[in-house]
Amino acid sequence: MMARAASLVQALEDPDTGMNNIYLVTKNAKGRDNDPELLGKDFQSVLDDNSLQTYDAITSAVNQLLQSEYLHRKKREELLANLEEQLAEVKAARKNPLDKIYKAHVQAVDFAETALTPK
């Protein structure tokens, strides 16, 4: 969720096929775009993948952003606001607060809030 909120994980249309897929979008040390890395056909398939390689790539990209572009308190507050919006979307879609997917998203936002709050 944090990677999506920071626009690291995006739905992009392949210009050759017209198909939308989910990609990891990162920048190199010079701030130039790296080639987007295909993660899956939709956000749920990325979550269901459970690949260590995918997890490591996303975690590494998020950590790099948190240590560079998201050091400032306001940037972190914007990221948290985006996470809250994502949580509201999931709640609206799932409707039941006992739903396992909704509860997992609540836990993810709680974890992100802890990670992003200055100590």
pLDDT 10s digits, 6-29: 889 999 999 999 999 999 999 888
pLDDT for 55 equals 87
Q: What is the mean pLDDT of residues 80-103?
A: 91
Percent of the chain with pLDDT over 70: 99
Q: Evaluate if residue 107 carries a pLDDT over 70.
A: yes
Region 59-85: mean pLDDT is 91
Q: Is 119 a residue whose pLDDT tops 80?
A: no
Q: Closest Cα to residue 109, out of 75, 86, 78?
A: 86
Helix or strand run (H / E) with residue 37? strand 37-40
Q: Six-digit token pair at 64? A: 């790099």
Distance CA 4, CA 112 (A): 12
Q: What is the dihedral of CA 77, 97, 51, 4, to 10 degrees?
A: -30
Q: How far from each other are the two terminal CA atoms of the chain, in whole angstroms?
A: 22
DSSP 42: S
Which residues are bridge partners to 22 per DSSP?
11, 40
Residue ranges covered by each domain of the chain: 2-66, 73-116
Name the pTM for this structure: 0.74
The encoded tokens of residue 117 equal 């709050």
